[in-house]
Amino acid sequence: MRIAIGSDHAGYEFKDAIKSHLREKGIEVLDFGPNNDEASDYPDYAKIVAEKVSQDPEYDLGILICGTGIGMSIAANKVKGIRAALISTKFTAESAKVHNHANVITFGSRVSKIEEVLEFIDIFLEADYSEESRHKRRVKKMDEIG
């Protein structure tokens, strides 16, 4: 599995912790920036990561972190083919995978603790994309918008 990750300044520390967590599990993570915690604009990194996931089949998932996770999810969802989900609970971590077939997940460093975020990521990774027809139909309808 290959994951693309990005943040802004607010998500920079979480990005490093998430990278370490995933690499300890043997998951390949490519960091698309930023390379420091100086002020940066979340749409810049959302665009890079979302385009990687939508255009390069070698990427299975994108992870984006900003202060709230909101800006990252709004920006990533502008890219065709992206289903970005803001995750803030165990329930939304599982639902984003099973129901929504999210291919980008976003987190807020000013909303969730890092320990929670790592747990949410594990839950998302361990869940399956539902094969049930109602979920597949709804995902298809989402992908047909725009």
Measured CA to CA, the distance from residue 123 to residue 134 in angstroms comes to 22
Interaction mask 106-145, ligand RB5, x per CB under 6 A: ----------------------------------------
Nearer to ligand RB5 among residue 8 and residue 51 (C-beta): 8
Residue nearest to ligand RB5 (CB): 71
Contacting residue, 5, 61, 68, 107, with ligand RB5 by CB under 6 A: 68
Q: For residue 124, what are its two tokens?
A: 């998302």
Structural element, H or E, at residue 54: helix 42-55
Burial of 85 (0-12, 13-18, 19+ CB in 10 A): buried
User: Per DSSP, what are the bridge partners of residue 108?
Assistant: 66
Residue keyed to tokens 């800006």: 71
Q: Which range of residues in 68-76, 114-122, 125-133, 137-145 is near ligand RB5 by CB under 6 A?
A: 68-76
Q: Which of 8, 45, 76, 104 binds ligand RB5 (CB under 6 A)?
A: 8
- Which of the ranges 15-23, 47-55, 64-72, 120-128 carries the binding residues for ligand RB5, by CB under 6 A? 64-72
73 within 8 A of 66, measured Cβ to Cβ: no
The residues of the shown chain that bind ligand RB5, judged by CB under 6 A, are 8, 10, 42, 66-68, 70-71
